[in-house]
Amino acid sequence: MMEFSEIFFKYKDLISIAVYGTAIMLIIIGLYGVLLKKHLVKIAIGLSIMDSGINLLFVAVGYIQNGTAPIFSPGHEGDVAKMVDPVPQALVLTAIVIGFAVTALALSLIIRLYKHHHTANIDQINSLKW
Amino acid sequence: MLKKYIIFALIAVLGFYLASTFKAIPFGANRLGDLNNPETVSAFYLQKSPEDLHVANTITAIVVNFRGFDTLGEVTVLFLAVTGLMSILYRKEEEETEERLAIPSSSLVRTGAKILFPLILVLGIYVFVHGHLTPGGGFQGGAIIATGFLLMLITYKTFYTNHNVMTWLESIAGLGFVAAGLYGLIVYGSFLQNTAWTGNLNDLISGGLIPLIYIFIGIKVGTELTSVLDTLLNIKPRKK
């Protein structure tokens, strides 16, 4: 049975590619949804997916090998050297809340647009086109 | 069709540059520097949080104390978003005629929801009261409380949140946060400055103003998310 640190050291490149790759793929999928989908709810979902990708990227940058959570719980007061970077996690906490606010506002606008035009397809909502 | 290919090309270029940027940042490397003589801001927070503030959860210390002003702005953004959502979805009373739920829930779901609802509320309150000791905090606790209300709202046709109570709780919590900031301004000369009395590490009452502010944030976020869910669930199709 290998320790986690050994596994990490052995497959370091693979893990790094997996984590960063997932985050970048999420951002790209979200951007694809925002730019190319015609349905407004799908665009909102794309925004949400992009949010998750960026959050994952932040947390991945702050990770330290074999790190623990930056919490000085009883019995772990001396583990400062092992703790991961707390700043990206605090920033992601902010980003998640702002992402929620953006999604909620976008959905409310979509509901209003749907009620007015009876469709959520942006090609058919063309009353402002000239 | 051409537009689609241009967008694909742009996305590919963006992905390539993102990948090549993050390839240069080694994953899992220690970038904090010396923890005893902090030179990076993260090392500074990791050192000061248990020593000066006696707060076990460093992230809480950053969110509420070191970057407290930022969090006040974040709460304001959330408040503005909720206000915007409510004003966009506002509908006069007489237009609301149809039932909220198309299919009534079964008695199993109704009984289960009734049992789970107080437990979810207690969990949410626990999470934001212990925000400075364990993982969690005001935003997470508020979100948990909102899920409890969501369960009740989607289970019972007749469950309505009292808007007056929600508005008052939210206003008092928001004012409490600002009052805690002004207390620091008046007593110590700087907005949101923490008190000198911070208790012991890992005590429930420790960290000075931090647990108080996180309780305010928890109540505020919980009521705001509940009002969002209530508003979104109570929109009716327009009557012809």
Contact B63 A60 (CB under 8 A): no
CB < 8 Å to B49, chain A: 72
Say whether A16 sits in a helix, a strand or coil. helix
Residues of B in contact with A16 (CB under 8 A): 26-28
Q: Residue A87: how many CB atoms within 10 A of its CB? A: 23
Structure confidence at residue B123 (pLDDT): 95
Cβ-based contacts of A24 with chain B (< 8 Å)? 15, 18-19, 22
Tell me the average pLDDT of chain A: 87
Q: How far is residue A72's CA from residue A50's CA, in Å, rounded to a whole number?
A: 32
Cα–Cα distance for residue pair B226/B148, rounded to 1 Å: 9
Is A31 part of the contact surface with chain B (CB cutoff 8 Å)? Answer: yes
pLDDT digits (tens, 9 = 90+) for A13-49: 888 888 899 999 999 999 999 999 999 999 999 999 9
Residue of B1, B13, B46 to mutate for A, most A C-beta atoms under 10 A: B46
Please report the DSSP string for B60-84 in residue order: HIIIIIITHHHHHHHHHHHHHHHHH
Are the C-beta atoms of B64 and B214 separated by less than 8 Å? yes
Give residue B240's pLDDT. 44
Tell me how close the Cα of B202 comes to any Cα of chain A, in angstroms. 7
List the single residue in A with minimal CA-CA distance to B63. A90
3-class SS at B230? helix
Low-confidence ranges of chain B (pLDDT < 70): 91-102, 235-240
Q: Are B54 and B199 in contact (CB under 8 A)?
A: yes
Give me the residue from B35, B139, B225 closest to A80, CB to CB. B35
User: What are the beta bridge partners of residue A71?
Assistant: B57
Secondary-structure breakdown of chain A: helix, strand, coil percentages, each rounded to the nearest 5:
70, 5, 25
In the DSSP assignment, the letter for residue B191 is T
The rounded distance, in Å, linking the Cα atoms of B74 and B64 is: 11
The minimum CA-CA distance between B22 and chain A, rounded to whole Å, is 7
A43 in reach of chain B (CB within 8 A): no
What digits encode the pLDDT tens for the residues A51-104?
Answer: 999 999 999 988 888 888 888 888 887 778 888 889 999 999 999 999 999 999
Residues of A with CB below 8 A from B29's CB?
A: 64-65
Q: Which of A27, A28, A85, A92 to mutate to test the interface with B (most CBs of B within 10 A)?
A: A85
CB contact under 8 Å between B45 and A115, yes or no, is no
Range A39-46 contact pairs with CB under 8 angstroms and sequence separation of 24 or more = A39/A120, A39/A121, A39/A122, A40/A110, A40/A113, A40/A114, A40/A120, A40/A121, A40/A122, A41/A107, A41/A110, A41/A120, A43/A106, A43/A122, A44/A103, A44/A106, A44/A107, A44/A110
Rounded distance, CA B217 to CA B195, Å?
18
Put simply, the answer to whether A72 touches B50 (Cβ < 8 Å) is yes
Report domain extents, chain B: 33-90+105-233
Which residue reads 């790759």 in tokens?
A21
Q: Angle B205-B201-B128 (CA atoms, 0-180°, nearest 5)?
A: 45
Output the CA torsion sign for B213, B214, B216, B217: positive
Residue B204 CA to residue B4 CA, distance in Å, equals 56
Q: Using a CB–CB cutoff of 8 Å, tell me whether A18 touches chain B.
A: no
**CATH T-level topology, domain A4-117:** Helix Hairpins (1.10.287)
Task: Give the count of Cβ contacts less than 8 A between chain A and B.
Answer: 146
Per-residue confidence (pLDDT) for residue B99, from 0 to 100: 57
Do the Cβ atoms of B19 and A112 come within 8 Å? no
Structure tokens that stand for B65 in this block = 């104390």
- Model ipTM? 0.84
Nearest to A15 among B27, B30, B232 (CB): B27
pLDDT of A46: 95
Q: Around B20, how many Cα atoms within 13 Å sit in the side-chain half-sphere?
A: 5
Contacts of B128 (CB under 8 A, 6+ apart): B136, B137, B138, B140, B141, B142, B214, B215, B217, B218, B219
Write down the pLDDT at residue B174: 93
From the list B18, B88, B201, the residue facing A77 with the nearest CB is B201
- What pLDDT does A105 receive? 92
Minimum Cα–Cα distance from A64: chain B residue: B28
Alpha-carbon A68 to chain mean position: 21
**What single DSSP character describes residue B101?**
-
Looking at this protein, which amino acid is placed at residue A28? I
